[in-house]
Structure 1
Amino acid sequence: MVAITPSIDPRVTALAPGFRALSIAVQAAPVVNSQAGEAALALACRQVLANDAAWAQAHLDAWAQVFRQFGAKPNRTPCSAEALRKRVLKEGSLPAIDPVVDLYNAVSLRYAIPVGGENAAAYVGQPRLPLADGRERFDTLKAGEPVVESPEPGEVIWRDDEGVTCRRWNWRQGVRTRLGVEAQQMWFILESLPAMPLEALHEAGSALTEGLRQMMPGAEIATTLIEG
């Protein structure tokens, strides 16, 4: 299994000193337990409602501060982890979407960490995390119809050689590389700031990989720690 090591722009590192992430590459296998993701999601929702990790709110607050530094407004476009948690606190649960998506959303909720899941086979070149110049292409949907947008200059984006794969760091994923259980090559990125203990980051990674092995026992998985 070949690991995926994304490149991090030094300007991004300057915005978020101490940024670190787990990059998890997966060669999928036949699914034998399609309910594993939904079960993990239901459990994670109950955990959010019952008791947070001691550092959870501090981690979300740190992400909000980083978003402000590159011009995003976290009240309108929060990091993905905060958006999920707000929905659970308001609605009590999240609906199941897809076994793999449910699983990585469960990890995001449980550990208050942004988790991205991508179809690695749809990537053109390697993923990288730079500041946008404002001319990149971002394929998304509006009112159910495909549209192409561009990020704002200076916005932190995930991208490949083709264009943007996720806007405002981890706020909104694009359509082109969207992940589902049918994908054969998967890539996950778990993104943390110093407010989250390193051991908790590794626990989150283990929760994801263990869930994937329950779902598809033959999967090949490679995990890499990325430090800015």
Structure 2
Amino acid sequence: MQFSHSSALWGEFPELAAGALVARGIAPGGSVDAAVARYEVAAQARLAGSAEGGLPEIQAWRRAFSRMGLKPTQYRCASEALLRRFRKEAALPRIHPMIDLCNAASMAFAIPVAVFDIGRIAGGLEVRHAVGDEVYETFSGEVEHPAAGEVVFADREGRAHARRWTNRQSGYSAVRADTTDVLIVAEALHDTAAADVPRLLEALSGDIGAAWSVPVTAAMLSASAPAFAF
């Protein structure tokens, strides 16, 4: 099983900095409160200096969404959506310790972070342009088919686990109470992304190790080394 981006996507977005992390043996009871609080303080500090739309990390994703033909304020990348909600409500709902941790880290770094249940993925994931026959399941259980050309996270059975690149994950592979193994993906396009994404992965690796005492494997991807095998 592996995670990768298509060569076409690397060609269109050579500035992409992407990293992936796998953790095996997690349980719902991991304690992440201290880490989440630390990340929330960092997010608050960033929002005190600028609304989320003014952050360079978010601006880079807005430009990418425009290049993909999407309205940036209609379809927001995951980190922008989280920061926007956090700015308005001063808190995020608690869902699962792993999701809570990744959401908080995403806000602190202003970088989209996706977390998938590996047991719900068939053969691996590739970030690529949709053919148009992929199956995407919403959190409410509705089935959609991404349009041809849309950037999706697709497995080998043609199931889309995220739509519009970093905009909307599927409910099908969302982390739940019985999840044991997770794949975490962080992607950024801003000028310092090549340094920021490894810092994010390192921070998450430490937090996961502290909360669950499980082995963590991480890697950075590139156009010349596009696949992370796990």
SS for the counterpart of 2:138 is strand
Give the AA of the match of 2:200: A
5+ residue gaps, structure 2, are 224-230
Aligned length: 218
The aligned counterpart of 1:20 is: 17
| Matches for 1:1-228 after TM superposition, within 5 Å | 5-29=2-26, 31-33=29-31, 35-36=33-34, 38-40=36-38, 42-51=40-49, 57-141=55-139, 145-162=140-157, 163-180=159-176, 182-217=178-213, 219-228=214-223
Identity value in percent: 26
SS in 2 for 1:78: coil
Q: Is the 8 A contact 1:24 1:189 kept in 2?
A: yes
> Could you list the runs of 5+ residues in structure 1 that have no partner in the other structure?
none
Which whole-Å CA distance do the structure 1 matches of 2:30 and 2:138 have between them? 32
Structure 1 stretch 37-46 or stretch 191-200: which is displaced more? 37-46
In structure 2, relative to structure 1, the CA distance for the partners of 1:178 and 1:160 (3 Å cut) is same
Q: 1:180 to 1:48 in 2, by over 3 A?
A: farther
Counterparts of 2:129 and 2:146, CA distance in 1: 10
Deviation at 1:29, TM superposition (A): 4.2
Aligned mates of 2:167, 2:65 — CA distance in 1: 10
**1:211 aligned counterpart, secondary structure:** helix
Query: Closer, same or farther in 2 for the Cα pair 1:58/1:131, shift >3 Å?
Result: same
- Greater Cα shift, 59-68 or 110-119: 59-68
Instruction: Quote the Cα distance in structure 1 between the aligned partners of 2:122 and 2:58.
Output: 31
Q: TM-score scaled to structure 2, two decimals?
A: 0.86
Q: How far 1:7 sits from its partner (Å)?
A: 2.4
Q: What RMSD, in angstroms, separates the aligned Cα atoms of the two structures?
A: 2.1
How much has 1:103 moved relative to structure 2? 0.4
Distance 1:59 1:150 in 2: 29
- Partner of 1:179: helix, strand, or coil? coil
| Alignment partners' CA distance in 2, 1:5 and 1:135 | 22
Instruction: Compute the displacement of 1:33 (Å).
Output: 2.4
CA distance in 1, matches of 2:129, 2:172: 20
In structure 2, the residue corresponding to 1:33 is in which secondary structure? coil
CA contact (8 A) 2:131 2:147 kept: yes
What SS is found at the alignment partner of 1:146? Answer: coil
Amino acid at match of 2:138: T
Letter in 2 for 1:221: V
